[in-house]
């Protein structure tokens, strides 16, 4: 929530999504009025980032009930069908399942009357949105204290306002540090293959006037070795009960580099991103995306026809590489398994 753009906006009868596939060249907003379009927007990354897809799915369920009501059909069936559709869009970020489960919990207690159900479900989706922004602000307050008064900070992917309902997780920590008067210079990994760093994080930071330098992923080691980085701060798609962290592919590389060079590696993640029932990161499903993301750059082929491609969208950083996890409830440190257990007790 930089104040200059809205990632997700609810209009009462439509969901507005800033189309992240075409940023930063084009600022265009998609207006969605049915759950099939919402599922498609999540799958094709019109909207992306763990908390943002959870919030989006919640509004997708509201749209399903609205459509059923207009057609005079039972709302519960439409809700269940939409939930099944939305659950199948992306597998790694747990916020998606968390938000759908929360909406299901609300739905279970509602009457068959569509108007009453709709009002409650809309209220719940708006609460999920508002609570995400509040969690990000709280993470900012807690996490900004971890950063020195003058710091070079490396980030990977986009964990900003574009990846959440507003303000951001990792970028929220950076925004709060800047607001507290700290001199932060952000080094932004471009984040191949989808270029969330180059296209989204750099755009977002520049909109806020936060000093930043874009580097390719392969430059991270050199800039850390050169002493330019005082801390790395990233977001997460799912944190297992033992503190292992799934985040955008390449995050693990950054964590290992940080450990080698004694640079703290921080993860900012709300409780909705923590999946305490998973014993370790080995149980986190890792999405594999289309090979064209690797063989092509902005629609232009850069690899030979027929080449074999592996395109996992996320990797898992073992808990031992994580210096701390910043949550809205405070900063978790080693042993992370114990800290997470205590948090969810």
Per CB under 6 A, the list member of 164, 201, 295, 323 interacting with ligand MRU is 164
Query: Coil, helix or strand for 112?
Result: coil
The 10 Å CB-count burial string (b at 16+, else e) for 86-123 is beebbbbbbbbbbbbebbeebbeebeeebeebbebbbe
- Residue (159 or 176) nearer to ligand MRU, CB: 159
Are the C-beta atoms of residues 248 and 313 closer than 8 Å to each other? yes
Closer of 66 and 144 to ligand MRU (Cβ)? 144
The residue (of 114 and 245) whose beta carbon lies closer to ligand MRU is 245
Site for ligand MRU, residues 144 to 163, rule: CB under 6 A: 157, 159, 163
> Rounded to the nearest 5 degrees, what angle is found at the Cα of 115, between the Cα atoms of 111 and 121?
70
From 132, 189, 237, 244, active-site residue: 237
Total residues binding ligand MRU (CB under 6 A): 17
Handedness of CA 335, 336, 339, 341 (dihedral sign): negative
Residue 143 or 235: the one with the smaller Cβ distance to ligand MRU is 235
Q: Is 196 in the site for ligand MRU (CB under 6 A)?
A: yes
Q: Is 169 in the site for ligand MRU (CB under 6 A)?
A: yes
The contact mask relative to ligand MRU for 220-249 (x = CB under 6 A, - = no) is ---------------xxx---------xx-
Q: How far is the CB of 148 from ligand MRU (least distance, A)?
A: 23
Q: How many helices (H) and strands (E) does the chain have?
A: 11, 16
Nearest to 170 by CA among 203, 142, 211, 130: 142
Distance CA 98, CA 181 (A): 35
Query: In sequence order, what are the beta bridge partners of 316?
Result: 246
Q: Is 237 a catalytic residue?
A: yes
Q: How many residues does the chain have?
A: 345
Q: Which of 35, 49, 243, 281 binds ligand MRU (CB under 6 A)?
A: 49
Report, in Å, the least distance between residue 200 CB and ligand MRU.
8
Residues that bind ligand MRU (CB under 6 A): 48-51, 93, 157, 159, 163-164, 169, 196, 235-237, 247-248, 313
Q: Which residues are catalytic?
A: 237
């Amino acid at each position: 929530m930089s104040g200059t753009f809205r990632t997700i906006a609810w209009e009462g009868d439509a969901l507005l999504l800033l189309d992240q596939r075409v940023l930063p060249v084009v600022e265009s907003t998609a207006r969605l009025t049915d759950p099939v379009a919402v599922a498609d927007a999540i799958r094709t990354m019109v909207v992306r980032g763990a908390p943002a897809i959870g919030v989006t799915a919640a509004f997708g369920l509201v749209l399903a009930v609205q459509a059923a009501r207009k057609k005079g059909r039972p709302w519960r069936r439409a809700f269940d069908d939409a939930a099944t559709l939305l659950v199948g869009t992306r597998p790694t970020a747990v916020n998606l399942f968390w938000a759908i489960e929360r909406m299901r919990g609300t739905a279970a207690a509602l009457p068959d009357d569509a108007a009453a159900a709709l009002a409650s479900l809309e209220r719940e989706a708006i609460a999920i949105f508002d609570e995400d922004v509040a969690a990000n602000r709280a993470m900012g307050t807690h996490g900004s204290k971890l950063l020195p008064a003058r710091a070079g900070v490396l980030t990977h992917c986009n964990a900003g306002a574009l990846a959440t309902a507003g303000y951001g997780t990792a970028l929220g920590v950076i925004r709060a540090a800047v607001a507290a008067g700290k001199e932060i210079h952000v080094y932004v990994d471009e984040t191949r293959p989808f270029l969330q760093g180059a296209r989204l994080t750099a755009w977002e930071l520049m909109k806020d006037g936060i000093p930043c330098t874009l580097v390719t992923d392969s430059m991270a080691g050199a800039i850390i070795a050169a002493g330019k980085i005082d801390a790395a701060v990233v977001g997460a798609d799912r944190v297992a009960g033992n503190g292992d962290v799934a985040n955008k592919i390449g995050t693990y590389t950054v964590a290992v580099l940080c450990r080698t060079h004694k640079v703290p590696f921080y993860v900012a993640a709300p409780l909705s991103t923590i999946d305490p029932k998973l014993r370790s990161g080995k149980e986190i499903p890792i999405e594999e995306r289309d090979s064209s993301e690797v063989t092509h750059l902005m629609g232009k082929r850069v690899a030979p026809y027929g080449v074999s491609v592996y395109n996992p969208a996320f990797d898992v950083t073992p808990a031992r590489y994580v210096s701390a996890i910043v949550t809205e409830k405070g900063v978790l440190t080693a042993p992370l398994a114990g800290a997470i257990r205590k948090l969810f007790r």
